[in-house]
């Protein structure tokens, strides 16, 4: 068969997505497979089974990353694709899963066409990408790239009090391969956009050439608990008020800085959390993002200055704990250009774009030339059971992945 005519079977890809989504299925069509839970183990088992059915050599490293290797005509460094299969608590069926299963479909197409590439191809499944149970997110790829020690990752404590290393052993996914063993020639990740740009503009694909930097902090505000009806305002040390002030400040900060600055309070807990009691303590998370490192640093500086002034004004104590800090990433321009050319050759509209979400590709970019392909998310929805991408767009992205990987593996 002429390699230029190769295409992914969309029905087969959709069937695989549906089968994986059935593991940890929740109401509304989504799924919940928090990292290293029983549901995650079942999902991993299914993907490993599919890898072996395709003749891939499966290896698992000490942080639980899974690598399915397809041999090439040489033993040169492989071209890698992949993503993750863990989800948030109210996850959809495409986030992460699409990139992994599309990679397996690429292998299946090449197997059926009896095409052996010059470089090996590798499909990766990275551990704890979402960070919904253990922080930091993108942990498996970060450990693989050397940005986080294995010992630190294994010691991470989850939101449910569990220890990551113990749960990894419990589900049977502590591999014997040393982390970072596989050093790819290139890495290309296919993913849904998780935002509204492609859907709103009616563009089929995105060639992702950069990714926002992320700053995660946890703020703990210590005030004084007191009666809500008898304590005058001037005598209050209200942790809840301080948390609200920080939340409003962050929205205004993003508006005033403009550009690509984003700020979000995603989690807020009050103690004692009683209707007629002034909050003694507030614990909240702050998510700051920007494509420009200098601007991200400036946002962090302004937040620190505001909280210092607020603590003095309200008579509370505010302490910050760093949860994660990742600088913006510029992907390989050559691979992004190649993705654009392949998409054009296959007749798909495409635009260059930045990713607002974190992905394993940003960690792999530390090791090798990397880039991403985005397909539209209808309505911009993700981390939502209603997350949806049309089958035609799923196929378009997978076809571009197929031919991009094929070119990279042939050394063209």
Binding-site entries for Zn(2+): 84, 95, 130, 191, 383
How many C-beta atoms surround the C-beta of residue 297 within 10 A?
A: 15
Q: For residue 25, how far is the Cα from the chain centroid?
A: 20
How far is residue 109 from each of residues 6, 13, 43, 74, 104, measured CA to CA in Å?
7, 11, 23, 20, 9
Helix (H, G, I), strand (E, B) or coil at 121: strand
Q: For residue 251, how far is the Cα from the chain centroid?
A: 23
Nearest of 243, 233, 314 to residue 273 by alpha carbon: 243
* Long-range interactions of 295-300: CB distance < 8 A, separation 24+: 295/257, 295/259, 295/260, 295/261, 296/213, 296/215, 296/261, 296/327, 296/328, 298/257, 299/215, 299/253, 299/257, 299/261, 299/263, 300/215
- Residue 87 CA to residue 152 CA, distance in Å, equals 22
How many C-beta atoms surround the C-beta of residue 152 within 10 A?
A: 12
Binding-site residues, in ranges, read 84, 95, 130, 191, 383
Q: For residue 289, how far is the Cα from the chain centroid?
A: 14
């Amino acid at each position: 068969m002429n390699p230029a005519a190769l295409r992914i079977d969309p029905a087969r890809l959709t069937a695989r997505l549906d089968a994986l989504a059935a593991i940890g299925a929740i109401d509304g069509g989504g799924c919940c497979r928090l990292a290293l839970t029983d549901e995650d183990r079942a999902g991993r088992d299914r993907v490993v089974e599919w890898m072996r059915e395709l003749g891939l050599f499966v290896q698992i490293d000490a942080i639980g990353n899974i690598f399915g290797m397809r041999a090439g005509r040489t033993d040169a460094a492989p071209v890698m694709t992949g993503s993750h299969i863990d989800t948030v608590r109210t996850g959809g069926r495409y986030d992460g899963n699409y990139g992994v299963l599309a990679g397996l479909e690429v292998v299946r197409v090449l197997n059926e066409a009896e095409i052996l590439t010059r470089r090996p191809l590798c499909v990766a499944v990275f551990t704890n990408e979402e960070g919904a149970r253990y922080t930091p997110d993108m942990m498996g790829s970060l450990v693989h790239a050397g940005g986080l020690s294995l010992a630190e990752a294994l010691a991470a404590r989850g939101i449910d009090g569990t220890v990551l290393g113990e749960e990894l052993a419990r589900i049977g996914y502590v591999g014997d391969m040393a982390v970072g063993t596989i050093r790819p020639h290139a890495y290309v990740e296919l993913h849904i956009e998780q935002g509204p740009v492609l859907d709103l503009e009616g563009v089929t694909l995105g060639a992702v050439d950069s990714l926002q930097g992320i700053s995660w902090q946890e703020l703990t505000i210590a005030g004084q608990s007191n009666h809500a009806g008898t304590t005058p305002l001037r005598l209050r040390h209200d942790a809840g008020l301080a948390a609200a002030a920080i939340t409003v400040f962050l929205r205004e900060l993003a508006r005033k800085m403009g550009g690509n600055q984003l700020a979000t309070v995603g989690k807020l807990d009050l103690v004692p959390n009683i209707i007629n009691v002034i909050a003694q303590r507030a614990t909240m998370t702050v998510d700051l993002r920007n494509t420009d490192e200098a601007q991200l640093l400036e946002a962090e500086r302004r937040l620190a200055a505001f909280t210092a002034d607020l603590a003095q004004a309200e008579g509370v104590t505010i302490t910050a704990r760093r949860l994660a800090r990742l600088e913006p990433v510029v992907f390989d321009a050559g691979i992004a250009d190649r993705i654009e050319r392949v998409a054009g050759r296959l007749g798909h509209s495409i635009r260059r774009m930045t990713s607002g979400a974190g992905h394993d590709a940003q960690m792999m970019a530390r090791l090798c030339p990397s880039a991403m392909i985005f397909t539209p998310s209808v309505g911009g929805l993700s981390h939502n059971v209603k997350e949806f991408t049309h089958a035609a767009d799923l196929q378009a992205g997978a076809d571009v992945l197929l031919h991009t990987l094929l070119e990279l593996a042939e050394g063209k």
